[in-house]
Chains A and B, each alone.
Chain A
Amino acid sequence: MSAPVKQRRWPLIVPPLLWQLVFFVLPLLFLVVISFWSIQNFKLEPDFTLKNWSTMLSRTTFWSAYAYTWKLAFVAAFGCSLLAFPAAYSITYHLSESMRRIAVLLLIIPFFTSYLVRVYSWQVFLSDNGIINSALSLLGLDRIPMLNTAGGTLIGFLTLCLPLVVLIQVMGMSQIDRSLIEAARNLRAGPWRTVYEVIMPAMKASLVVAWLFAFILCFGDFVSPVYLGGGASPTLSTLITDTTKSGQQWPRAAVVAIMMIVTLMATSLVAVRYAYRGGRK
């Protein structure tokens, strides 16, 4: 049924387009502009100076924060994907229709709870006198410092991303033609080989997209590094909040923000290229 499409009601495009141009594109472009402005008497003044860029990019604190953020987000995204995969596999292939629906529902629940509240809960679990350490000492084991370490930050990142990554993987996995898996089994491929050579290539796009989402979320998060990681080693986001909130140095914060956006765009580009490379979707 191909009805003639009437090209009318164009006005509908105007409000959303205008809104996103004025309140999304312009603010981001303005960020680029103010990275060349200067601060005089604690006020932002129009200027054209490269000083903000040269100051920030020559600081070792910036580059160590950059490396640390990248490493954390990269590890978290990979860890998240790895930890999510068997769970997604079980949800897709080992559960009955109704159980699968319940599992998916349980994975959606976190989206309705505040990330801040969950992070606070983890503080309760992970602190030196917290639930996990009390349990360990009841068992006669040594306490493990978990709060205010990089491990704490990673647990926060997992809390942030794991449900989303599992859901995306389940979506990708349930679109795989089951006869492919049957065929692999009939050809006597073991379970590991089936996963590695049939399932993973067939859902490559959703694996990469889930990884990318996790990477973006972790790269930009500042709650876990501060409240679970202790804030001792700054990440790029904590650098932005500190520079903006306490220092009032918006132009310098803008430099950090632009570096982050460029990094994320480059990573996304590479990841999407990789996801859709080759004939298979």
Chain B
Amino acid sequence: MWNFLRNAGRSYMLLVLLFVLAPIAASLVFSFNADRFPSLPLKGFTTDWYRETFSDPLVLDAFVRSLYVAVPAGMLSTLLGFAAAYTDYRFSFRGKSLFNMLMLLPPTIPAVIMGLAMLSYLSRLNLAGNMYAVLICHVVTGLPFSMAIIRLRLGQMDPSLEPAAWNLRARAGQTLWHVVIPFCRQSLVAAFLITAAVSFDEFIVAWFVSGLEETVPVRVLVFLQGQVSPRINAIGTVVFATSILLVVVGTAFSGLGKASRAGKAVDSSDNA
């Protein structure tokens, strides 16, 4: 009985994985399919959709805009997320749980509601209808993620590391710079990559507040409102490949000797 269940369970798990991955694989396959209307059997290999997509100025502009938003949004979310995570790690104060709730709440508010709220609020401030509005919204969305990632890493830090640096007369800022930040380097890079990816992928709030300055996913949404378009597959595949590449490069790059670096940082802070 247990053995039968084991095999049945494994096959069922494969089915679930298939359901989850099938749309992604299909989009990859059909982005190279010659037939405009996606169906089986495949009609032959083509890169036309890519050429068509990336010679479309609307798409290219959207890509540039998305990058202009995603990179600063990632950096700002990481900085603010670090400040929030460190506040939670180091200090205890009244209303701290309220502070944490405020920081972590945004993902639980449906994006349509955030979009409407941001649109009406920012247009009252004359800030809506451009990329800065999208940037602001994406930092709000990204901050909780970066805070969570960095807070996890801070939790692994020896709590006596910082007091040791203070005892060696490092000032608070020096300790932060030479001890805490090197220790968190990997999580900072991870937080940046993930929040940039979140921004690059977010389309609902961006759709509300961006006005005519569309980002890539907003452009996809517009394509989706039209007819069948293999361009969606081409854009999707490029975006997917880029994010996977970024994450792989990021983790490989930041994973180099983080432990020894943190140790060295403690050594070097005593001549301060």
Contact = CB atoms under 8 A, between A and B. Distances in A.
Interface residues of A, number: 86
A160 to B, nearest CB: 11
B116 A254 contact: yes
B70 interface: no
B58 interface: no
A106 B22 CA distance: 12
Contacts of B23: 117-119, 121-122, 125, 159
B16 interface: yes
Contacts of B5: 191
B19 A158 contact: yes
A122 B233 CA distance: 12
**Centre residue among B87, B116, B233, B239 by max chain A CB count within 10 A:** B116
A5 B90 contact: yes
Contacts of B137: 23
A200 to B, nearest CB: 16
Contact of A6 (B102, B115, B172, B217): B172
Interface string A1-37: 1111111111011011101110111111011001000
B40 A120 contact: no
Contacts of A107: 17, 20
A35 to B, nearest CB: 10
A8 B12 contact: no
Interface in B116-133: 116-122, 124
B266 to A, nearest CB: 14
Size range of the interface on B? 35 or more
Given A257-B113, A260-B113, A30 B120 contact: yes
A145 B115 CA distance: 33
B163 to A, nearest CB: 4
Interface of B: 1-2, 5-6, 9-10, 12-13, 16-17, 19-24, 26-27, 30, 37-40, 79-81, 83-84, 86-87, 90-92, 99, 102-103, 105-106, 108-122, 124, 136-137, 139-140, 143, 147, 158-160, 162-163, 166, 172-173, 176, 197, 201, 203-204, 208, 217, 220-221, 224, 232-233, 235-236, 239-240, 243-244, 247
Interface of A: 1-10, 12-13, 15-17, 19-21, 23-28, 30-31, 34, 44, 83-84, 86-87, 89-91, 93-95, 103, 106-107, 109-110, 112-122, 124-125, 129-131, 134-135, 158-159, 162-163, 166, 190-191, 216, 219-222, 227, 237, 240-241, 244, 250, 253-254, 257, 260-261, 264, 268
15 contacts: A1-B158, A3-B159, A3-B160, A12-B86, A24-B106, A28-B109, A28-B113, A109-B20, A110-B20, A113-B24, A113-B243, A116-B236, A120-B224, A159-B19, A237-B112
